[in-house]
Structure formats: C-alpha cells, structure tokens
Structure 1
Amino acid sequence: MFLKTNLFKAIKFKNPVKLPLSYWILVCIRFMLTLLPQSGYIHPDEFFQNVEVIAGDIFTIDVARTWEFNPQFPIRNIFIPKIILGPPLNFIRIIHPFMKYYFNIDLRTPYFLITIPRLFICLLSLINDYCLYKICVLYGQNFRNRLKLFASSYVVLVYCCRSFSNTFEMMFFSVLLLLVAECMHKSDKVIYHNEFLNEKYDQATTPVEKVKIFKLMTHLPNHSLNFVVILASIVVLGIFNRPTFVGFAFPPIFFWLHRGLGSKVVGFKDFHYRIITLIISGIPIFLLLILIDSSYYGYLTMADIDMLKISWDNWVVTPLNFLRYNSDMKNLNAHGLHPRWLHVAVNIPLLFNVLGFTAFIMLFIQTYRFARGKYSKLPKIQSITGLMLFSLIIPVAILSLFPHQEARFILPVLTPLVYLYGNHLYPNDSDGPNFRRLKKMLLYLWYAINVTLTIFFGFIHQGGLYPFTRSLHTEIKNNYGYHFHIITTHSYSIPTYLLQLESTTNIYKDKKTGHSYRLAPTTFINKYGSMPMRELFLTVNDVLSNAEMLLHKRKRKYRIYIASPCSLERKIRHEANKYHYMLVTEEFMYYPHFCSEAFPEFPKEHDQFCLGHNSTQTNQSEAVDLTMLQRISCFLRRFCLRVYRVSPTNYS
C-alpha cells in the first residue's frame, strides 16, 4: 500500500504558485496599449487576411476581399478567423443597437471596431503565457524571470494583440508544446515506475509478492496515447490556418511519437501504433474543415446535396491551394523574393534582439561542444530542453528554405526561445561580479529595445492611417450622398471595414414597388503603392474629370482626397502645379507616420522648403542658412501623413 500511494503521488503534477506582481503589471500594460488604441499599422495582412473579410460577412458591408479569398482559387481557411474574430464582431453587432439607444454610444466606429477584436485577441494571447508558465512549473524551472521577459517583449505587446494568422499560429504552437511537454513528463514517470516494478517482479520470490506487484503494474496510468485527439486536431487546425505550421508542429509531434522509445517497456510497436492513431484522430477535423471551406466558397451547396450531385469538384482544400500557389516562383516573385539567410541574419535580431543574440552564442557553444565530442555537456535528446531546442531550430530552418521571408513568419519561436535562454539574462549566485554586471546591462538593453520597438511598431509605423480613417468615417457619415474618392500613395491600404460602408453586393427589395435593386458605390478607395508622381496625377486628373461630369449631369457632389507621406510634399506640389485647373490644398495632417516606401531625405543647409512652401525666399542671395537643429527638426516633421483635397480651381 505504501508503494502504491507513493507511486501515484509521484505521477501527479506540481501545484502552481503565485505569479510575480511585475508580470501582472506587464499584462495590464498589454491591455492598456491595446485600449489606447495602437495606431501603428504593421502590415496589411493584419486586416486583410482576417478581420476585413469576417467583418464583411457579419455586418454585411462593403469590404476589400483580397485575392486569397477569391472563390475561384481560395487559399485561406475561413473557420479559424471566424471562431477567433467572430465573437468580438458579433458582440459589436448585437450590443450596438442597445448602446446606441440607451447610452448614445456608437460601437460601429473605427475605435471600437479596431479595439474590441484586438482586446479579445489580447486575452487569447495569455494562452502563450499560460503554456510557458505550465511548462516551467512542470519541469521545475524559474518561471518568474521567463514570464517577465516574455511579457515585456514587443512581439507580445504588439504582434500578439493583432489579427495576424501568425498570431493564431503562435497560440496553436504554444498549446502543442505544453501538451507534448505534459505527455513527456507523464511518460517518463510511468515508464520509470513500470521498469522499477518489472525489476521488482523479477526479483520477487513468492507468488503472493508477484501478484501484489502485478496489480500495481496494472494500476499504472496509460500514457502512450495521451492527448492524441487534441494533438491531431491542433495540428490540422494549425495547418489550415497556415500550412507553414507543418514546420512548427514537426518537432513536438516527433518528440511525442518517440516518448520512451529505447526503454524496456516501449518499442517500435508503440511508435507505429501512435502514428496510426494520430493520423486517424486527425481525419474528422480535417474533413470538417474541408466541408466548411467548400460550403463557404460556394463549391458545395444544399442543392447539390439534395440532388446528390457531389463530385471532386465540390470540394476545396485551402492548404493544398496555398502550397500550389506558393510553389510557383512567379507568384512568390510578385510578393518579393528574399535571401534565404534573412530569418537568421535580420528577422531574429529584429524580433528578439538581445535574446536572439544570446541564442546565437549558446547554439555556437553547443555546436562547438558537439564537434569536440563533449556529448555529456549537451542536452539530452528526449528531454524538455531537447524538445525546445528542436522547436526553435527546425521551424526557422524549414522557413528559411522558402525565398519569401517576413519577420512575422517566425513569431511562434518566441515561446521555446524564452524557455531556453530567458533565464540567461538574469544574474545568479554562481556568476562573478563582471558577469553579473554584463547580465544586468543586457537585461536593461532588452527592456530599452522592446520599449522603443513597441512605440515604433505600435504607434509610429504607418501611424497616420488609423486617425485618417477615423476622420474619414466621420466625414462620410456626416455627408451622406457624397461621392468620396480616396487615393493613397506610398502607404498601406485603408481597412475598408472601419468605414462601415453600405453593401453594394446585397440585393434589396423595395417594399412599395417590389422591385429588387442594389446600392451604387459612393466611396472609392484607390491604393497606388509607389506609383511615380506623374502617373499618379494622370489618374487623379481622370478621377476629377469623371467626378465633375457626374456633378453636372446628376448633381452628384464629391470629395477627392490624396493621402501621402509628408516627405513627398514637394513632389506633389511640383506635379500639381502642372494642372492649372486643379487645386490641391492641404486638408489634414497626422503625426507621426513612418513610411519606409517614402523615407524623407535629410535637409541640406540651404533647403528653403523647411521654412514652409509659402516662403518667398527663392533667390539664393536671400536664402537663409539652416542650423543643424532646424534641419533635424525639419527632418522629423516629415514623418507624417498629409491629406490633400483635390478640387477644380473655380471650386467655392
């Protein structure tokens, strides 16, 4: 009885302990930054790969459905965005009428439309924190230091609160790591006790003693197929979210399959049994996701089911389409080709800074030890350190094989990175004075860099587009019936769902006449990227001519805006002066706004444009030399977004 009691006590997990106050402060900062809201705009995919499309379905409004959701060749699964973004957007849709009626608060405004979904994602991001915490507690590691480091990363403060598919991928990856870590921990204990009891059974001398030990062996918990259904479902969901999840899922699944392999009680029979069970367990969720996508994109309809006209053409497998699309080098070239060393040389230092460099140093040391044959100083393969090490290296290595590499693609490796090397930035008792000072300096550097990058990516990078969208929403709402033409250049696209434009695709029915009709579009958003200024103004001229024609023929009033980085002001005014019948006036200015597509030049000593475009000092003899302080001030002022209104010269 004593042996049995102690056996099951040993298999139980450790009790959780309290989290440090500094960690909770960082979590509060995460939510506060989301509530402000963060006006920074990291990449168009944070809107157009998820929330833009889901908002269009829920609010039945006009949105920009990107090519990834084209029913002819869809490459994006709709289920994961719906289950993550559906609840907050449906909350807005349901609560909005009541808030409007009782409190006169309009929830369908850019602030709430951007903040409420982000708050929900921010809440879900705590899944990553919880998984890291549980793994640390499970294996007796210092979770306090790691959690503080994790929560202070700008990746968590900014990226993990946005609706990137990479953010969702990070959640799946963290959960997968936790489940596999728990399975490894439990299997190690059960296998140890199983081998111990087998040894005692062989040593037993009496039948009674053998029976007692045999009963204890039968009471050992099953461990071989722990979490198999959940693991299979997470892998399938992760692959449908982003097929690159194969690279992230491979190390955890590999370790889950190899648990205890080589011991006396686990053999290759168990290994193959696990593989078969894992594959079979993933089939139901795999078929369900195919069914959902096929129905959403119109490949499978109720009419087809009723008439039993179902063939291979009725099914769509979005991950397969994703792979087919990205296997074509022409398609990748359209999105930009990068050198294969970009993740290692640029993206890891950019995302993880001090922690990334620490990982490089530690991996170099371990590689050196391996080359010198010092295997005893290397982490064991079937250990939690081995799992985390492979979960860090293999996804980066696999993603580095592809020529299109963006920093956000490797966001999920932050979890194993913090677990492995997070504690290295904190001094311990065995460190000498110089080493302690070095670690403190690196820790302060970590916080300084992450604060800077949080401000930059959270509020400065493309930071003028959100406040412009907010102003534009108000203007469209207050000028019903106007035609609005918004032209953006050298900037990201405006998220259309924030404007809450009435749907022009839905069919409405007139109650009096019974006739069906569709609404004509009244707001036109045109993104021209880095189009040369001459071609841009040819387009602006066409828009102005068409708008004037509609004004005179149908009395349709209009407003035309050009949104451009302030660094292009001189080029815009120079080109606008060529059109004597066109008046281009500054309407709004939003600061700060960093745009790498139009990085401002540092003003020269005689740059009179810094004194204002109305300056009359055009003669070199009358020019005023700028001081260095004036030049720096002028340079910083050019990091803004300027919105110009275009109208004919006789406009009043």
Structure 2
Amino acid sequence: MGYKNEYHRSIDEYNLATPIQLKMVCYWVLAGLRIVLTFLPQIGYIHPDEYFQSIEVIAGDYFDIDVYKPWEYNASFPVRTAVFPYLIVGTSYSILSRLSPYSIYLFGTPLKSPYFLILFPRLLMCGFSFVSDYCLYRICNLYNQNYRVRLVTYASSYIMITYATRTFSNSIELVLTSLLLHFVSECMAYSEKIVFQSDHLFERYRRASSDVERVKYYKLLASLPQHSLNHCLILATITVAGIFNRPTFIAFAFPPIFFWLQRGLGSKTVGLLDFHIRIFTFILYGIPTAIFFILFDSFYFGYLTLAEIHNLDIGMKNFVVTPLNFLKYNSETKNLASHGLHPRFLHFLVNVPLLYNVLGIIGLITFGKMIYSGLKARWLELPRIQSIIGLMTTSFILPILILSIFPHQEPRFIIPVTLPLVFLYAEKICDNPSTKTVAYVNYKARKQSQQRKNSKIRKLVATWYICNTLLAFFYGFAHQGGVFPLATHIAAELKAKPHLTHIHVFTSYTYSFPTALIQLRNTKRTYITKDKYKYRLTKDFFLYEQGARDIDDIYEDIAKKLQECEKQFMVKKIPYRFYYALPVTLFDDFMEYAFKNNSRLIHYRVIRTFYPHVTVEWLPFLDTIKHCIFYGKSEVCIQQLFEKPAENVFKLLRQFGLLLLRIEYPTKETNQNIIL
C-alpha cells in the first residue's frame, strides 16, 4: 500500500496510477539465468579479491591443506574481519564436507574439486543476491511503483549476474545496502501515515472547545502506534555488520540512516528530542554487534584466548578492531599507491558508465540538472528531503562522492548503488507502451511525440541489453578466464602424478593463482603416528608468479630453475614436472627469444590451451596490423585484411587463450629434433 499526505508529500514527484498486471516472465527467465550461470560455472576471473579475501582465508581452516592468506588477514595487523568469510565460505565448505562422503559412496567422486570448491560459496552468494531483488520489489510495492520494470532492469544488469554471485565483500555490501534501503523505506512510509494522523489529531486537540473533547482527542493520540524507533535494532545491526565487512560501508549507510533519523522532523509531533533519542538508541543497539565482531576477530587472530579470560589477564592489547586498522592503513597514500592510484573523478567518468552504461549516464545527467536547478534556486524542481526520491537520489550520489575522495578507485567499489539507481531511472530505458509503466515524472513531461519518444527508448533498451550481454560474457567468462581451467588441470595433475614427483609452475600476465582450489597437502602441520613419531609432509608444488615481467627475464629464470631441478634429480633422484602458463599473445615473443638462444637452455611443448582468456594488459595483435604499424607496409596490411577476412578473424580469436607449456631439460635427442 502507498502512503501520501499533505505535509510530507513524500512521493509528490509521481502520479499514482492503477498498476497494470503484467507477466513476470522476463524477470524469472533472468533470475533462472543467474542461477544457471552460477552452476555452469563462470570461469571469468574479475579480481584476485574474489579468492584471496574469502576462499583462501577459510579453506585452510576447513581442509587439511596449504593456503596463502593475503596480507589483509595477517595476524600482526589484520584489516579485514573473518566473520563474513566464515559465514559465506565456511558455511559452504561445512556443507560440502558433510556431503562429500555421500558423493564418493554414490558416484565415486569427491566434492573437493575446483568446481565444487567455487560452486558452493557462489550458490550461497547467488541466494543472497535475490535478497536484494526482494528489497527492490518491496520498496516498489510500498510506494505503488512499477516493480516489474525495475526488477527486469535489475536482473538484466551484468552486475547481478557476475559480481553479485561471487565471493566479493562488495557483493555482501550490495545486499546489506539493499536491506538498509528496504527497512528505511518501510519506516518512512509508516511514519508518514502516523505523523499525518498525529498532526491532525493534535490540531483537533488544540482547537477543542471542551475538556471532554480534549480527553477524547488525547486518548486517540495515545492510541496511535509507536513509530519513532521502528526497525532500530535491525538497522543498527546491519550498519555495524556492514562496517566490519568493509569500512567504506559508512558511505552507503549514511544516506538511509540519516533519512531514518529525520523522519517527521518539522511536524507538530516530532521534534529534535526525537531525533536525539533515535541517535542514542541507534548507537546503543549497535554495541552488541560490534562486541560480537571484535570478540570473534580477537579469538580468530589469536589476540584473545580462553586461558587469558580464565586468568582474567585481559587488556586492550587483547582486542583487535579491524575497521580501525583498515582506516589506519588506507589513510596513508603510500599504502594506496601499492594498489594503484587513480584520478579522483574516475568513479564518475569511467566506473559509473562502465557498470551501468545508459542507466548510469542518465543518472549522472539528472544529477547535473539537479545541481543546476539548485544553483538557480528552483527548489520545486528538486526532490523533497523526506521523500523516497530524495532517499534514493542521495543513496546513489553521496556514496560515490565520498568514495571519490580516496585515490584508489575500482568499479566494484560502487556496486551497492545499483538498487537506488535502478529504482530511480529504470523506467527511462523501458518501452512505455509495451510495459505500461504506472508512473511518470510530473516536471519532466516531454513535449515530443509518442512515436519519437518510443524510438529513443527502444535505442536505450537495445544499448542496455547489448552492453550488459557483452560485459556479462567478458567478466563472467573471458577476463582471465583461463586461470580456473588451469587450476583444474593442475589439480588433476597433482592427483595423477607419482607420489615423490615435484610440480613446478611458472605463470606470467595472469592474476594470482588460487592455490586453495588445487588442495595442496599441508606442509606446515606436524603429524603424529600411532607410535608417537612426529613428521611433516614435504612440499611437492612450487608456484612462481612472474606478473608482468619481460619475457626475456622469465625465460632466463625458467632455465635457471630447470637446471636446479635437473641437478636435484641427478643427485637426490627427485623427479619433477615443469610447466609455464602464459597468454597465447606472448607465445611468439617466447619462441623468438628461445630461437635466438637456439633452445639450448630449455625444451618446450604445448600441453593445452584454455579458452577463452583475455589479458587486458596484453591484448591480441594481428600480424597484418603489425606490418602496418612497425614496418610501414600499409599496402600489404590493407590487402591481407580485405582478402583474407575469415582467416584474420580466426587468427585473432585463437590468441584469446591461456597456453600451458611443458618445459623439459634439453637432451641430445631434443636438440637434434629442434635443429632438424
């Protein structure tokens, strides 16, 4: 049910209309697609944080394996809470561990494989992503807005298909922001109704001519339900949890919490005392959640033990507050510089259009018009401060403004603004005649003909779906897409190899290799036999991540390490297998350098190529174009481009792969084969 009154005019930017019952087929298809792509799975590697702030953190605690915990979880100075990794990955792996024996018994297949190790956490995140969808649906229903148009737009965004189903802390932040907006919107709608009735009864009470009449209105006032502290505990809990998940959540929580605090201010029955009571109660309700997170992290990182509690040997040194460490770390520019410094305007000029294409551009243009109206003192053209439009506009713009203060800016940092952006502008990119939206903006009524308007909207719709389809494929499957298949291949290699064989893997121009997926045996734990003998397992997997180093230097390092392995084999009889994974685009450079050295140092052969794999730092380059640019042979270039288009396209597509080479120590036979 919608709420509207003369005082607040909370949704006076819209004309209420009778909702038209439309089928939700499109939304359910898109929702099903989100689930199917999670099962597939998506092999695209968006950012190392997907693995190294969740799976790598928890896998070692649930399985007896070696993992490489990132610096954020260093016990000496932890900047991330362990609560959410345990909630998402820990819960998933607990279920996986319990189901694995049944899988072995029924199908003969264990669940501790790279596929299932990413599937279970992603399925849980996929389920959480639908909480955000439900929040959008509830908000639209509260204010009688067309939820169908908005849900279809929301579900068709590649953010919900790729980012929201991954184990990013930003994805959790998106869900928590959606919950905040839902509960605050509910409180605003409910309070408007109560405040309107309260103001009406108070005015009647003030104008009452007799004591009997005053008593009557006083009782009616007293019978009105309480609304001032509605959902306070829930909001405080979500806010504190969000801050411990990512301290940047303050930027996303500030607008909805501010709107919750100032509900009804300026009316006859709500004053500054209510405002201060809400602040005090909100802080009070947030304390238990903060204590829980502090205690959990203090135990997890070893700052606090049960023995210290038993002996009452507890001080401030026994507690760790990860958000404070996070802020302390990021307050120094030199620390941010190690992760990359960006222009302050990157979020607005690049990240918003990249994430939301036409929807984001419409949002930025609309905000620009609001600024212009404010400068011209056209206050009636601006959304009301206590309206749902005011809440959503502030929740879209203000977090981006705050995060733009920090020089390290990545697109995923601002994905929590997806819900307010879709709520505000989804109808602007939908075909109104076909979807029959139920609301239109009053002060933005267009004078153009409906036919011309529909043509423009159809172009926007086409742009929206084309961009989201391409970006869903790029981030979901192509971007660094060979790393996960490589991990699957290495995991199979580790299981199939002879027991004493060592595996050496070099990588270059790829993101960090997620070692938790290949289930390395634990070399840090001390095992005890039945006879009380202690022993440790020897390391049998060695990873050498070369990043963006020159191929010449990598070749020399491979040759040096190969000689060491061969020496160990000759002296200690330790067999080995040596691999090098690199983008196909670098293979020509590798072969060229190997040819210059007559391949005397190493011998190599292609084992497998994993498709698709896009390395943005080293994109494919056609030989014909190379002739144009480097050798000035423009005639040859143009001739080959137009004479052999299919061949050129095939050559280009073949370069979107990750190549796995088997490196071997050269023998007389291999050298003779190379010369021949």
TM-score (norm 1): 0.92
Aligned residue for 1:271? 275
What's the CA shift for 1:606? Answer: 8.3
- C-alpha contact (below 8 Å) 2:563/2:665 kept by paired residues: no
From 270, 273, 298, give the equivalent of 1:294: 298
1: CA distance between counterparts of 2:249 and 2:269? 32
Pair 1:631-2:645 in alignment = no
Counterpart residue number, 2:28: 24
Among 306, 314, 336, the alignment partner of 2:310 is 306
Residue 553 (structure 1) aligns with: 571
Pair 1:48-2:48 in alignment: no
Name 1:647's counterpart in structure 2. Answer: 664
Task: Work out whether 1:421 is the aligned partner of 2:421.
Answer: no
The alpha-carbon deviation at position 442 of structure 1 amounts to 0.5
Residue 377 of structure 2 aligns to which amino acid in structure 1? G
Q: Residue in 1 aligned with 2:441?
A: none
CA contact (8 A) 1:606 1:625 kept: no
**C-alpha deviation, 1:555, in angstroms:** 2.2
Kindly indicate whether the alpha-carbon contact (under 8 Å) linking 1:468 and 1:590 is maintained by their aligned counterparts in 2: yes
Aligned-partner SS, 2:579: strand
Match of 1:66 among 67, 70, 85: 70
The 10-residue stretch of structure 1 (384-393 or 217-226) with the greater mean CA deviation from structure 2: 217-226
- Given candidates 612, 622, 645, the residue that maps to 1:592 is 612
Once the two structures are TM-superposed, the CA of residue 110 in structure 1 deviates from its matched residue by 1.1
* Structure 1: distance between partners of 2:651 and 2:579: 25
TM-superposed deviation, 1:628: 4.5
> In 2, Cα distance between the equivalents of 1:283 and 1:605?
63
SS of residue in 1 equivalent to 2:605: strand
Matches within 5 A, 1:248-647: 248-428=252-432, 432-481=450-499, 482-512=501-531, 514-577=532-595, 578=597, 579-604=599-624, 627-629=643-645, 630-647=647-664
Quick one: which of 179, 182, 199 aligns to 1:175?
A: 179
The CA distance in 1 between the partners of 2:496 and 2:656, in whole Å, is 29
Task: Answer with 199-208 or 485-494: which moved more.
Answer: 199-208
**CA pair 278-16 structure 1, distance change in 2 beyond 3 A:** farther
1:15 to partner: Cα distance = 13
Is contact 1:576–1:584 with CA below 8 Å preserved after alignment?
no
Cα distance in 2, alignment partners of residues 188 and 220 from structure 1: 13
Residue 427 of structure 1: how far off its partner (Å): 3.7
Secondary structure, in 3 states, of the residue corresponding to 2:623? coil
Moved more, 158-167 or 97-106: 97-106
Residue 510 of structure 1 and its aligned partner are, at CA, apart by: 1.4
The residue that corresponds to 1:615 in the other structure is none
2:127 and 2:547 map into 1 onto residues whose CA distance is 34
Alpha carbons of 1:590 and 1:198: their partners in 2 closer, same or farther (altered >3 Å)?
same
Structure 1 unaligned residues grouped into runs of 5+ = 1-13, 609-620
Higher mean displacement: 56-65 or 133-142: 56-65
Alignment partners' CA distance in 1, 2:431 and 2:323: 45
Give ranges in structure 2 of 5+ residues lacking alignment: 1-17, 434-444, 629-635, 671-676
Query: How many Å separate the matches in 2 of 1:16 and 1:332?
Result: 51
- Partners of 2:559 and 2:601 within 8 A in 1: no
Alignment counterpart, residue 237 of structure 2, candidates 211, 233, 248:
233
Query: Distance between the aligned counterparts of 1:605 and 1:493, measured in 2?
Result: 31
Q: Deviations over 1:521-579 (max 9, x none)?
A: 11122211101122212321232122222222332211111100000001112233425
**Cα deviation, residue 600, structure 1:** 2.4
In structure 2, the partner of 1:97 is 101
Conservation of the 8 A alpha-carbon contact between 2:504 and 2:577: yes
- Deviation of 1:160 after TM superposition, in Å, equals 0.4
- The answer for the alignment partner of 2:436 in structure 1 is none
Q: What secondary structure is seen at the aligned counterpart in 2 of 1:50?
A: helix
Deviation at 1:18, TM superposition (A): 8.8
| Mapping of residues 139-150 of structure 1, within 5 Å | 139-150=143-154
Equivalent-residue separation in structure 2 for 1:145 and 1:536 (angstroms): 53
Say if 2:155 is the partner of 1:155.
Answer: no
The separation in 1 between residues aligned to 2:258 and 2:280, in whole angstroms, is 14
Change (3 A) 1:15 1:625: closer
Residues 14-68 of structure 1: CA distance to partner in whole angstroms, max 9, x if unpaired? Answer: 9999971211111000001111111111111111111221122111311121111
- Contact between 1:228 and 1:277, CA under 8 Å: does it hold in 2? yes
Indicate which of 160, 166, 171 corresponds to 2:170. 166
Pick one of 23, 40, 59 that aligns with 1:36.
40
Rate the CA distance shift 1:559–1:16 in 2: closer, same or farther, 3 A. Answer: farther
- 8 Å CA contact 1:605–1:631 kept in 2: the answer is no
Q: Secondary structure at the match of 1:335?
A: coil
C-alpha distance in structure 2 between counterparts of 1:606 and 1:304, whole Å: 68
Query: CA separation in 1, counterparts of 2:626 and 2:197?
Result: 82
1:618 aligned partner: none
Distance in 1, matches of 2:188 and 2:102, equals 50
SS at 2:624's partner residue? coil
> Which one-letter code corresponds to 1:157 in the other structure?
I
Task: Kindly provide the CA deviation profile for residues 283-331 of structure 1, in whole angstroms up to 9, marking residues without a partner as x.
Answer: 1111111111111011111222222221221111111111111111111
Displacement of 1:607 after TM fit? 6.8
| Deviation sequence 1:416-440 (CA, Å, 0-9, x none) | 0001111111244676210111011
Residue 437 of structure 2 is matched in structure 1 by: none
**Sequence identity of aligned pairs in percent?**
44
- C-alpha distance 104-435 of structure 1, shift in aligned 2 (>3 A): same
1:211 aligns with 2:229: no
Decide whether aligned partners of structure 1 residues 231 and 16 sit closer, same or farther in structure 2, where only a CA change above 3 A counts: farther
SS in 2 for 1:644: strand
2:127 matched to which residue of 1?
Answer: 123
Deviation string 1:323-378 (CA, Å, 9 cap, x unpaired) is 11111111111110000111001000000001011112222222232233322222
Q: Post-superposition shift, 1:605?
A: 6.4
Q: One-letter code of the match for 1:478?
A: A
The one-letter amino acid of 2:189's match is: H
What is the CA-CA distance between 1:399 and the residue it aligns to?
A: 0.5
What is the Cα deviation at residue 625 of structure 1?
6.2
Cα distance in 1 between the residues matched to 2:505 and 2:655: 21
For 1:11, the equivalent position in structure 2 comes to: none
User: Which residue identity is paired with 2:611?
Assistant: Y
Instruction: Rate the CA distance shift 1:204–1:605 in 2: closer, same or farther, 3 A.
Output: closer
CA–CA separation in structure 1 for the residues paired with 2:525 and 2:19: 55
Q: In structure 1, give the amino acid aligned to 2:612.
A: P
Tell whether the 8 Å contact from 1:605 to 1:625 is kept in structure 2 after alignment.
no
Cα deviation 1:123-176 (Å, max 9, x = unaligned): 110011011111110011111000000000000011000001100000110001
Match of 2:7 in 1: none
**How many residues end up aligned between the 2 structures?**
624
Q: Structure 2 vs 1, CA of residues 246 and 605 (structure 1 numbering), >3 Å: closer, same or farther? A: closer
CA distance in 2, matches of 1:547, 1:477: 21
Aligned-pair CA distance for 1:444: 1.6
- Give the Å deviation of 1:640: 0.8
What is the identity, as a one-letter code, of the residue corresponding to 1:303? A
**Superposition pairs for residues 181-192 of structure 1, below 5 Å?**
181-192=185-196
Counterpart contact for 2:156–2:468, Cα < 8 Å? yes
1:219: Cα distance to partner? Answer: 1.6
| Structure 2 Cα separation of the partners of residues 326 and 16 of structure 1 | 50
What is the alpha-carbon distance in structure 2 between the residues aligned to residue 59 and residue 303 of structure 1?
A: 26
Distance 1:605 1:255, change over 3 A: closer
Q: 1:308 to 1:383 in 2, by over 3 A?
A: same
Residue 506 of structure 1: SS of its match in structure 2?
Answer: coil
